[in-house]
Amino acid sequence: MSAPSPAPAYEIRVAEDPADREACFAVRKDVFVAEQNVPEDIEYDAYDAYDADAVHVLAVREDGVPLGTGRLLHGAAAAAKNGDGDLAVGSLGRLAVTAAARGLGVGAALVRAVEAAARARGLTAVDLHAQTHALGFYERLGYRAYGPEFPDAGIPHRAMRRAL
C-alpha cells in the first residue's frame, strides 16, 4: 500500500489588488464563458469593480497559477440579490474552479473562505444560487435548497442557504 500523495499546495486569499482581481476574472471567463457558454456581458456586473459590498476570494497555487475564485456580496447588494431584504444574509456567487484544479478541495476551501468573510462582517447566513448539478457539493458543505428550480444564464439553478 503506497502512501497518499500530498495535497497540492495552494492558498486562499482575499483578492484586494488589481492583479488578484484580474486572476479572479480570468478564472470566471475560463469556466463560465468558455466552458459553460455564459454570455460575457452578463457574467460581469457592477460588483466586479472595487465595491465595499463585495469580497472576492482567490485560490492560487504556490507557483502563482490561479485555481479558483468566489465572491461574497453583503449589505444592500446581498439583500437585493437574495430578494428578501435581510441585511444579515450574505450572497455567495461566482464560484468557479479551473478544470485542472477540480477534485482537489479548492471549491470547498473557497466556500469556507467566503463564509469566514461573512462571519467577519457579522452575517448570520449565506445564500447562493447553485447550478443544479452542483447541489450535492453544496449540500455536503451544509447548504439546504429551497424554492423552485429557475434558469440563470440558461442554466438550471436552485436557491440554497446555510446558517453560520
d(CA 1, CA 85): 54
Exposed/middle/buried for residue 148 (C-beta within 10 Å: 0-12, 13-18, 19+): exposed
Measured in degrees and rounded to the nearest 5, phi and psi for residue 147 equal 75, 175
How far is CA 108 from its chain centroid? 10
The three-class DSSP label of residue 4 is coil
Handedness of CA 52, 54, 56, 57 (dihedral sign): positive
Q: What single string gives the DSSP state of each residue in 80-120? A: HHHSS--TTEEEEEEEEE-GGGTTTTHHHHHHHHHHHHHHH
Encode the chain (164 residues) as per-residue pLDDT tens digits: 555 555 558 999 999 899 999 999 999 999 999 999 999 989 988 888 766 789 999 999 999 999 999 999 998 888 877 777 788 899 999 999 999 999 999 999 999 999 999 999 999 999 999 999 999 999 999 999 999 999 998 899 999 999 99
Quick one: pLDDT at residue 79?
A: 80
Quick one: pLDDT at residue 34?
A: 95
Q: Are 145 and 135 in contact (CB under 8 A)?
A: yes
